[in-house]
Amino acid sequence: MRLGGRLAAAIEVLSDMEKRHRPAADALKDWGLSHRFAGAGDRAAIGNIVYDALRRRRSATWQLDSETPRAAAFGALLLEWGETPESLDRTLEGDRFAPDPLSETEKAAVASRTLAQAPDDVRADSPDWCQPHLQRSFGAGWVEEAAGLAARPPLDLRVNGLLASRDKVADELEDTRAKATAIAPLGLRIAPIEGSGRHPNVQVEPAFQKGWFEIQDEGSQIAATLAGARAGMQVLDFCAGAGGKTLALAADMDNRGQIFAYDADKSRLAPIFDRLKRAETRNVQAIASLNSLAKLEGEADLVLIDAPCTGSGTWRRRPDAKWRLSQRQLEVRVAEQTAILDDAVRFVKPGGRIAYVTCSVFAEENTAQVEGFLARHPEFRPLDHEALWQDRLGRGSARFMEHGILMSPLTTGTDGFFFAALERRI
């Protein structure tokens, strides 16, 4: 397929999402099933246009002065693919599968508008209702921080220190051009794709099959390192999910001590078993029953809470979620987080810690959540987070606050993550 056919397909997918209110992954999958002639390269390019259009929806449609799927798709090519109205005219000419070229009205709109002069809400590429929350988190720099969440993401890998070194894995993945991450000590990064390209399927690599690395954003790796799991500890991963942070903690503990990986949702926990086996992790018990944790009450050196959240920090990877999210969903997540934090207290021994993590950039889920917890539980105190960062990582910087650390694409080059370490004094 030429670019015109790919563009038309992207508009079709975006229209399907709008009409049926469905996730991008589902709409793209259905399009692929009904258009089996499209090759892998075509599907990747169509997906890129769709995701770019979703990441940059406000600025893309503003450029064409229209909020249609067509405007979003064309705008994505103008903003992210280096296209111009003239280059698109040349590319689409004679392509019978292409959509209609830009009209004179659309071209006039593009010519009359520069993104640098756009309103803040347009440059931020975020929903209106999110803006007060972003301002509360980032202050005067909220527009630039939000725009960072609308860029294409890299592909980050975490080397399994139990089985390999970072240099060894980098050598094995030489063709991917993976480079050492700037902050995470065992991370490798494959740069964001350009144009119609796609990231390599690293899960087919022998090094992945041998358990030498996992796919994990650098921010998530940093949070696991800051948690401070050490050999011999009793650790509870209280919202373990598929086990990404569990595996990182196990490697930090050199397979010594004990990790209890708990998740109330058995389906979320299910993938952990294959991952543990591949990584040769031997100090983890996966648990789906809260009653089975009774023996750990008052015994845990560390309770990691990778809390359910809005996922606002992952908008680069899941841009459709940005437009489906609502104030009501934020309120539900905040209530869940509060309940989980209060429930976790009973497991922490005196001198032990809670490591509270979200992949959100909203203060309501982060600093405000921690402040509320400390008010309810005066037996806990926050650690000096800047000192903790320097001790555990020794490089890079983030947004340090009295009650935690906020990471973002703009400040740390990672997804948006929040981390807080809370120590039980008595």
pLDDT in tens, 346-376: 999 999 999 999 999 999 999 999 999 999 9
Say yes or no: 233 and 342 in one domain.
Answer: yes
pLDDT class for 161, splitting at 50, 70, 90? very high
Helix (H, G, I), strand (E, B) or coil at 154: coil
Q: Does 341 share its domain with 268?
A: yes
Averaged over 117-139, what is the pLDDT? 96
Q: Per-residue confidence at 402, pLDDT binned at 50, 70, 90?
A: confident
* 302 and 363 co-located in one domain: yes
pLDDT given at position 294: 93
- When the pLDDT of each residue in the chain is averaged and rounded to a whole number, the result is 96
Is position 285 within any domain? yes
The C-alpha atoms of residue 367 and residue 406 are separated, in whole angstroms, by: 9
The active-site residue, picked from 130, 239, 309, 359, is 359
Same domain, 181 and 319: no
Whole-number Å distance between alpha carbons of 288 and 268: 10
Please check whether residue 87 lies inside any domain of the structure.
Answer: yes
Q: Is there a single domain that holds both residue 248 and residue 348?
A: yes
Q: Hey, what are 29's tokens?
A: 């999958």
Same domain, 293 and 178: no
Binding residues: 263, 306
Domain boundary among 215, 239, 266: 215
Has residue 222 got a pLDDT over 90?
yes
| Structural domains of the chain, count | 3
Binding-site residue positions for S-adenosyl-L-methionine? 263, 306
Indicate whether 238 and 205 sit together in one domain.
no
Q: pLDDT tens, 27-46?
A: 999 999 999 888 999 999 99
Q: How far apart are CA 32 and CA 14, in angstroms?
A: 14
Radius of gyration of the chain (CA): 23
Are 385 and 423 in contact by the 8 Å Cβ rule? The answer is: no
Task: Give the end of a domain, one of 174, 190, 215.
Answer: 215
The first and second tokens of residue 68, run together, are 């249609």
- Domain containing 182: what range? 155-215
The residue with tokens 């989980």 is 340
Question: Residue 202 in 3-state DSSP?
Answer: helix
Average pLDDT over residues 168-182: 97
Is 139 inside any structural domain? no
| DSSP assignment string, 354-401 | EEEEES---GGGTHHHHHHHHHH-TTEEE--HHHHHHHHT-S---EEE
Residues present in the chain in total? 426
Q: How far apart are CA 231 and CA 55, in angstroms?
A: 41
Residue 245 inside a domain? The answer is yes
Residue 366 placed within a domain: yes
Q: What is the pLDDT of residues 75-99, one digit of tens each?
A: 999 999 999 999 999 999 999 999 9
**273 and 201, same structural domain?**
no
Residue 253 CA to residue 259 CA, distance in Å, equals 9
Tally of CB atoms within 10 A around 176: 18
Nearest to 373 by CA among 398, 397, 355, 351: 355
Confirm if 98 and 2 have CB atoms less than 8 A apart: yes
In a domain, 127, yes or no: no
The predicted model gives 386-398 an average pLDDT of 96
CA angle 7, 11, 16 (to 5 degrees): 145
Q: Tell me, yes or no, whether 132 lies in a domain.
A: no
- pLDDT for 28 equals 96
- Give the per-residue pLDDT at 20: 93
Please report, for the chain, how many H helices and E strands are present, in that order.
21, 13
Flag whether pLDDT at 426 surpasses 90.
no
Residue 48 three-state SS: helix
Q: What is the CATH number of the domain that holds 300?
A: 3.40.50.150
Classify burial at 96, counting beta carbons within 10 Å of its beta carbon; exposed 0-12, middle 13-18, buried 19 or more.
Answer: exposed
Alpha helices in 189-326 (DSSP H): 206-209, 218-227, 244-252, 266-269, 272-279, 319-324
Give the max Cα distance, the chain.
Answer: 75
Of the residues 171, 195, 215, which one is the last residue of a structural domain?
215
- CB-facing half-sphere around the CA of 392: CA atoms within 13 A: 21
359 is catalytic: yes
Q: 186-213: per-residue pLDDT in tens?
A: 999 999 999 988 999 999 999 999 999 9
Q: Could you report the per-residue pLDDT of 247-262, keeping only the tens digit for each?
A: 999 999 999 999 999 9
| Judgement on whether residues 211 and 223 belong to the same structural domain of the protein | no
Residue 260 lies in a domain: yes
Q: Identify whether residues 195 and 255 lie together within a single domain.
A: no
Write the CATH number for 178: 3.30.70.1170
- On whether both 296 and 358 belong to a single domain, the answer is yes
256 and 192 in a common domain: no
pLDDT tens track for 304-333: 999 999 999 999 999 999 999 999 999 999
CA distance 364 to 328: 13
